[in-house]
Structure 1
Amino acid sequence: MRNRREVLKALGGLVVAGPVLAQHMGHGGESPAPAGGMRVPARPIPWDEALCAFCEMPIKTPEGQWRGRTFPKGFFEQTYSQIAFEKPRPAPHDPKQVVEALHFESIACMVNYAWVHGLKDGEGATFYVTDRGAYDPARPQETVRLIPARQATFYWGERMMVVMNAKLLAFASAKAAQEFADRNKDQHGRQRFYSFQTLWDLAPLPEMNLVALLARHAGLLDGKEGGHSH
């Protein structure tokens, strides 16, 4: 894990780096893993009880109104992401318990959690993302197909609405990502495609409450100070 001085320096830099990050220009981060790195099998997804390890929102779309908003069916599940561990480790909020995986409601939440806690894909862990190309919003949990993040093509749409305003989806192939982009070019505005290496180079990724969430995970704020928003 990064020490407090390193995190404070990074958080201070976000004030001036924000516009650059928003344009998705990299800062030359370290590679998360070689393409052929170790692979830990994906773990079962506890849809009914799991919260995002980064922002603590549900990984399952709430039914009816939730915090003043009603979300479309499958809205949260389409960006579900996971870090599966080779060996169980203490749970983030309860060191007396151990977990085999961490669960995230957005791709950006997973990348940002890994960035601040020093986790790397291929080093005792494997990062997984939901293949949006195989996903059916009408049957969200049944059609979540996890693919290794290192092999995915990531799509960014300027006006696309996903959880935490992360603007990111993952696809199993560049062809599927391009077809999705072509179908949505009028609604999404500017569009970009990225590899997982590029997302890692850009970390931390801009999303809602970024500074507060990073500061809380670095131990600079207690759990009640890093508010949530969608």
Structure 2
Amino acid sequence: MRNRREVLKALGGLAFAGAGLAQMAQESPAVGERVPPRPIPWDTGQCAFCEMPIRTPEGQWRGRTFPRGFFEQTYAQIAFEKPRPAPHDPKQVVEALHFESIACMVNYAWVHGLRDGEGATFYVTDRGAYDPARPQESVRLVPARSATYYWGEKMMVVMNARLLAFASAKAAQEFAERHKAQHGRQRFYSFQTLWDLAPLPEMNLVALLARHAGLLGR
């Protein structure tokens, strides 16, 4: 039985990424200087990987209505030490990339060869400090490298990635206890584990990886 990496390789998922990407999952993220997080463009921001809005849309969006703050709870960011060309418009430069899913951030970094601690710092939203009644105001970014990640089999989050981040293992465990009945099987991960498992499963994963590698037109 093939594992996910073997399937992706058969589809060209590793061949297009280059030999360097094949090694990324086996190496620890560097712990370099921390770049401070950048302002979050809630009004105009889109996910750099899947292009969904980083703010929960009001009313219906693509035929669905989402609870208040649903997108914001999994917001993630890659902040750069030096500005670099924007992903979809090389004429512009950006100080950060914004993601509406933790998996989107990890998968984008996996495809494009970005590494935490090498001219960039990865950040995730601390779900333990998050208030869905004040979604944008309560987003507290913590370094991805030090967070604890919670996976719930039946948990619904954007892109069906089933991942949340917490500033501490204790907060993640308390959250898991409260939602054991609703979420089914549960797991805890470190950022290193997520890196080892990349690319992380989520909606449209193979198509998104292929598009970012230039195999599919936009």
How high is the TM-score relative to the length of structure 1? 0.85
The residue correspondences of 1:185-204 to structure 2 (distance < 5 A) are 185-204=180-199
Cα distance between partner residues in 2 of 1:159 and 1:123: 35
Partner of 1:52 in structure 2? Answer: 47
The CA distance in 2 between the partners of 1:191 and 1:171, in whole Å, is: 14
Percent sequence identity is: 85
Shift of 1:109: 0.1
Residue of structure 2 aligned with 1:174, choices 164, 169, 182: 169
Identify the residue that residue 124 of structure 2 maps to in structure 1. Answer: 129
Secondary structure in structure 2 of the residue aligned to 1:99: strand
Contact 2:76 2:99 in 1 (8 A): yes
What SS does structure 2 have at the residue aligned with 1:216?
A: helix
Corresponding residue SS for 1:193:
strand
Change (3 A) 1:14 1:131: farther
Matching residue of 1:75? 70
2:79/2:121 contact within 8 Å kept: yes
1:157–1:93: structure 2 CA closer, same or farther, 3 Å change rule? same
Match in the other structure for 2:15: none
Q: Partner letter of residue 32 of structure 1?
A: P
Show the counterpart of 1:226: none
One-letter code aligned to 2:109: A
**Structure 1 outlier segments of 4+, above 6 Å:** none
Letter in 1 for 2:132: P
- Contact 1:130–1:147 (CA<8 Å) still a contact in 2? yes
Contact 2:25-2:198 at 8 Å conserved across structures: no
Unmatched tracts of structure 2, length 5 or more: 13-23
Residue matched to 1:29: 26
- C-alpha distance in structure 1 between counterparts of 2:6 and 2:173, whole Å: 37
Q: Is the 8 Å Cα contact of residues 11 and 215 (structure 1) preserved in structure 2?
A: no
In structure 1, C-alpha distance between the alignment counterparts of 2:200 and 2:150, rounded to whole Å: 14
Give aligned pairs, total.
203
Instruction: Provide the rounded CA distance (Å) in 1 between the counterparts of 2:210 and 2:190.
Output: 26
Structure 2 counterpart SS, 1:57: coil
RMSD between aligned alpha carbons?
Answer: 1.7
Match of 1:11 in 2: 8
Q: Give secondary structure in 2 for the equivalent of 1:115.
A: helix
Deviation at 1:11, TM superposition (A): 2.4
Report the alpha carbon displacement of residue 108 of structure 1 after superposing the two structures with TM.
Answer: 0.1
Q: 1:14 to 1:192 in 2, by over 3 A?
A: farther
**Contact 1:134–1:144 under 8 Å retained in 2:** yes
Equivalent position SS for 2:85:
strand
Match of 2:16 in 1: none
Kept in 2: contact 1:171–1:177 (CA 8 A): yes
| Alpha-carbon separation, structure 1, partners of 2:175 and 2:189 | 14
For the structure 1 residues 157 and 74, does the alpha-carbon distance in structure 2 shift closer, same or farther, using more than 3 Å as the test? same
Matched to 2:82, the amino acid is K
Asked if structure 1 preserves the Cα contact closer than 8 Å seen for 2:83 and 2:95, the reply is: yes
Amino acid at match of 1:70: T
- Residue 145 in structure 1 maps to residue 116 in structure 2: no
Does residue 155 (structure 1) correspond to residue 120 (structure 2)? The answer is no
**TM, length-normalised to structure 2:** 0.90
